[in-house]
Structure 1
Amino acid sequence: MPSRASLAALLNDPDVASAVTGRLRGAGSGVGNDTLRHWLYDAIRANVPELQLAVLRFVPTLAGLYMCCAVSWKLLVGFEAVLLALYAHAAAQRGGTGKAETVSLLNLANPSPYHDTKVPPKAKPAELDIAVLSPPLEPHSIMRATRRACIAGAILELYQGKLSLMPISSKMDFSEFCPRLPPATDAIAVVEKWRRVPLSWELFQPVVRIVAHCLLGPSRSDELKAQVARAAECLYWRATETMDAPALLATRSLMRLSQMVEEPIPEPSFSSAIENMAELGP
């Protein structure tokens, strides 16, 4: 068994990443007897965190390739086995029950403790509103077409949880395979339209969170921020097709954040303040 240091090195090794990504994008990738598929499947099922993290590094390529192939009705059994193993791992990370991830929101019907109210408060305060960040993960042994987006979304949420540990190259792969719509003026828009991944809400939420993390994260890569900003713009145009209000609001906010990243606020200068203080001195 390799040492944990060597396993951890797999995550950031550019040669390994290039070789694995090239194999995944190859013509014979994803078939049932693919040796790389067997390695990925066994690695994610192994109880070795460093090895599982190395597999998560290739989630953008795996999920992107599979979803694009699913649109063209070219289903790959090998990819399905790996994705189902990742889905089972995501359910196990939630305590083995796959329960929903929720957050409590303040109910504005309750009186504020910082302000006096003219109307006497009710005897029983209103309950907190519960927002569902991620739906429950039901067990799945096969990849059904009706649950494909839900399974891919849960895997992307698992990837998002480890995003701070992922190398820049993995985030670049994600922005490349991010579901997008070319502009109407693009010459290849009509040709590429059939290859677009159906952007359901289960898949849309983790995609937006990952894009936002890449935009506002600590990475100093200008190339990454430029490519992710392009992905945010494409997501916005995808949302305009469906006219989904929450999707439009989220993607429009992403676009404005990307503009703020391109034009950062200058740091304040204290030289003039020091000069003014000197003039006020005795």
Structure 2
Amino acid sequence: MEIQTNGAASPFAVSSTTSSTSSNDRSPNPIITTTTTNPPKNPNPNPNNHTANPMQSWWESISRARSRIHSLSSIVPSGSDSISPLADSDCPARSLLDSPSAGSAVSSALRLPSSGSGDDPLCQWIYETHLSPDADLRLVVLSFAPLIAGLYLSRVVSSSPSLAGFESVLLAFYNAEARSRSGKPVLVSVPDLSCPSLYHSPPPRQPLPSSKSSQPNQPRPLSVGVFSPPLEPQIGVKSTKRACVVAVALDCFYKKISLMPARSKLDLCEFASAWSGQNCPCRTDLDKADDDEGIGFVSEEFSKLRVCREGSGSRIPFPWELMQPVLRILGHCLLAPLNTQEVRDAASASVRCVYARASHDLVPQAILAARSLIQLDRRARSAAAAVVAASANVSSNPNTPSKQRKPEVFLASK
């Protein structure tokens, strides 16, 4: 199977054999054209044989995942001891996704200075695995999207050598999302601000058959906003489309973030702080004001941020197009109840760096979103500290009466 990109050869030459899956298992790709041979059809199909298909599909998925895991262990020899045993589990792809040691080994290999080139075997493995029809294998690949995006943006601004491997992986994410949207924008219904709340807004009334021209019975037009514009297929990562391609890859990661391991979220927090300028001295000054100080504090802080803009450390171009998915991911890391404390602390520090950067660049959407996340984080931490203090006072006070346990009553049958 040879992969071509609109007449131009792809940086990766994929060689694979499909024994029982047909070409209809994959959605049509306007960018990547795949040449396959359909398997011969059974001349005597049995229409009553419905029980063998699920088992056959399950076994093909297991075999495919084991094959990908074995190939990954040969590419990452430093983590072969932690990757190879995962192939013997009942769910190999999920085991690979949830394994901290395997994820650490792959992350270390991606962070090597020589990674990301067009002949990088690890990028080739990620690219091929993303084309797999197995959803769990695609989740494994998607878990490395923040790391690949962070390494790519951090290296591309420093005139690094060819990063065709990283670009091919990011384009695979982008083109898959473009195909799923079918050239349509993502729309969102905007509530009517003239009503007291969302629950006071009456539904649009349908016109009566007898009074079609009556103005009060006309349906109220819905207010619709464009959440994301239509995506155009890309054959390469241009400098003008770089932020859009990376933002779409991060948006794909956000859609599956509830299934992602903690290491992926920590990678995003790390690179978001670096992109914003984590050495900015004013990032710690944003928590000095109480919520009641209002606009005066904000204008004062903005003046401080403009003064220290030149000494904010190493940064990259960080437009609102890229800030938008980053802030959504940081919001999940801060507010999702199942996240670890390490993820919440990393997101708390990262969102303050993003707020400082947005204030430097005067991006009003990012300022409002990041400041809201900071306030929610402060209130959540204050509430947690109050609960801890109250429980400590109760346990340390010897005069506090303890509630006696009710005796257990057992019902016996006669």
Report TM bin, short chain. Answer: 0.7 to 0.9
Structure 2 vs 1, CA of residues 32 and 226 (structure 1 numbering), >3 Å: closer, same or farther?
A: same
Amino acid at match of 1:60: P
Tell me the equivalent position of 1:105: 190
The structural deviation recorded for 1:197 is 2.6
Tell me the equivalent position of 2:119: 33
Unaligned runs of 5+ in 2: 1-63, 67-89, 204-213, 284-308, 392-414
Structure 2 vs 1, CA of residues 113 and 35 (structure 1 numbering), >3 Å: closer, same or farther?
A: closer
| Structure having the larger proportion of residues in helix | 1
The 5 Å alignment of 1:1-282 reads 1-2=64-65, 5-74=91-160, 75-94=162-181, 97-108=182-193, 112-113=201-202, 122=216, 124-178=218-272, 179-181=275-277, 182-184=279-281, 193=313, 195-264=314-383
Unaligned runs of 5+ in 1: 115-119, 270-282
RCO higher in 1 or 2 (8 Å CA, sep ≥ 6)?
1
Amino acid at match of 2:117: V
Tell me the equivalent position of 2:43: none
TM-score for both structures, normalised by structure 1: 0.83
In structure 1, how many angstroms separate the alpha carbons of the residues matched to 2:383 and 2:346? 17
The structural deviation recorded for 1:113 is 3.8
Aligned length: 260
In structure 2, how many angstroms separate the alpha carbons of the residues matched to 1:105 and 1:13? 41
Two-structure CA RMSD over aligned residues (Å): 2.7
The structural deviation recorded for 1:184 is 2.6
In structure 2, how many angstroms separate the alpha carbons of the residues matched to 1:81 and 1:167? 23
For the pair shown, the structure with the greater C-alpha radius of gyration is 2
Amino acid at match of 1:104: S
In structure 1, how many angstroms separate the alpha carbons of the residues matched to 2:172 and 2:351? 29
Contact 2:280 2:312 in 1 (8 A): no
In structure 2, how many angstroms separate the alpha carbons of the residues matched to 1:63 and 1:56? 11
Of stretches 18-27 and 2-11 in structure 1, the one that deviates more from structure 2 is 2-11
Contact 2:280 2:311 in 1 (8 A): no
- Secondary structure at the residue paired with 1:204? helix
In structure 1, how many angstroms separate the alpha carbons of the residues matched to 2:254 and 2:170? 15
User: What CA deviation, in whole Å up to 9, does each residue of 1:17-48 have, x standing for no partner?
Assistant: 11110011101101111110110010111111
The structural deviation recorded for 1:263 is 1.9
The structural deviation recorded for 1:136 is 1.3
Amino acid at match of 2:179: A
Structure 2 vs 1, CA of residues 39 and 200 (structure 1 numbering), >3 Å: closer, same or farther?
A: same
- Secondary structure at the residue paired with 2:318? coil
The structural deviation recorded for 1:123 is 5.7
